[in-house]
Structure 1
Amino acid sequence: MAHPLAWTTLWCLAIAAVVVFSLLPAPDLPDAPGSDKLHHFIAYFALAASAVQLFARWPALFGAGLGLVLLGVGLEHGQEVLTGTRIADRWDALANTLGVIAGLLTRLTPMKDVLLRWDTRGRANA
């Protein structure tokens, strides 16, 4: 990978964004039934699939996945404890966890190194 620090920084910023948005006051906009769970799944899927792009070895990837699961569960607890407008929801934590698992499973697909191929394509032509 040509720019590992840049990509890892972006991944960390994405994690920080999830933390911030998880602890901000809940918006008063109505959601379609179940859409909240879909948002949780997609956010954690994206974080885990991004980890697949960044960490080539299974132990590092497992650590990233475990960290994301713990983050998702911890943030659900934090919503209850740290905010006055949100409550902990075990179904949100499950959606987070399933998103992490699905994202990690991209390691078993041809998409596992798409960032590496994209990030180094300019070097092949140089």
Structure 2
Amino acid sequence: MAITILSLHPLENLPEAPGSDKTHHLIAYAALAFPTALRKPKRWPIIIIIFALYSGLIELIQPYANRYGEWMDFLANISGLLVGILMAFFTNKLTKRAQ
């Protein structure tokens, strides 16, 4: 829900925030994917694909919400999903090793 609001809320200017816009996209989508990939519910890869499609849809809708849709943002979103999956993979591996 937070990603939708932050991505589609009309803005006159982007707010000042440390880091680049692409870094914020990567972090948001890594945070979205991490718990799903960590928990691995039934058909979790399909959920990740839905997240990817969702991020592309947001980029397509943004021009209609007084925002800018960018393909580089979409690539940052996909990268974030991959980072979240990798973080969950290594977290699960470390947790199993500690048991």
TM-score, with normalisation over the residues of structure 1? 0.64
Which residue of the other structure, out of 51, 57, 67, is the alignment partner of 1:74?
57
Could you say which residue in structure 2 is the equivalent of 1:17?
Answer: 2
How far has the Cα of 1:27 moved from its partner? 5.6
2:82 maps to 1:101: yes
Measured against aligned partners, the alpha-carbon deviations of 1:27-62 in whole angstroms (never above 9, x if no partner) come to 623456x610000000000100011233245xx221
**2:92 corresponding residue in structure 1:** 112
For structure 2, the residue ranges without an aligned partner over 5 or more in a row are 95-99
Query: CA 1:76 to 1:63, structure 2 compared with 1: closer, same or farther past 3 Å?
Result: same
Q: CA RMSD in A?
A: 2.3
Structure 1: any 5+ residue segments left out of the alignment?
A: 1-15, 115-126
Whole-angstrom CA distance in 1 between matches of 2:84 and 2:12: 27
**Cα separation, partners in 2 of 1:23 and 1:113, compared to 1, 3 Å:** farther
Matched, 1:41 2:22: no
Scaled by the length of structure 2, what TM-score is found?
0.80
2:81 corresponds to which letter in structure 1? V
What is the percentage of aligned positions where both structures have the same residue? 29
Which protein has greater RCO, CA pairs closer than 8 Å, 6+ apart? Answer: 2
Aligned in 2, Cα 1:26/1:63: closer, same or farther, shift over 3 Å? same
2:38 and 2:89 in contact (8 A); partners too: no
Moved over 6 A (4+): none
How many residues align structurally? 93
* Matching residue's letter, 1:95: A
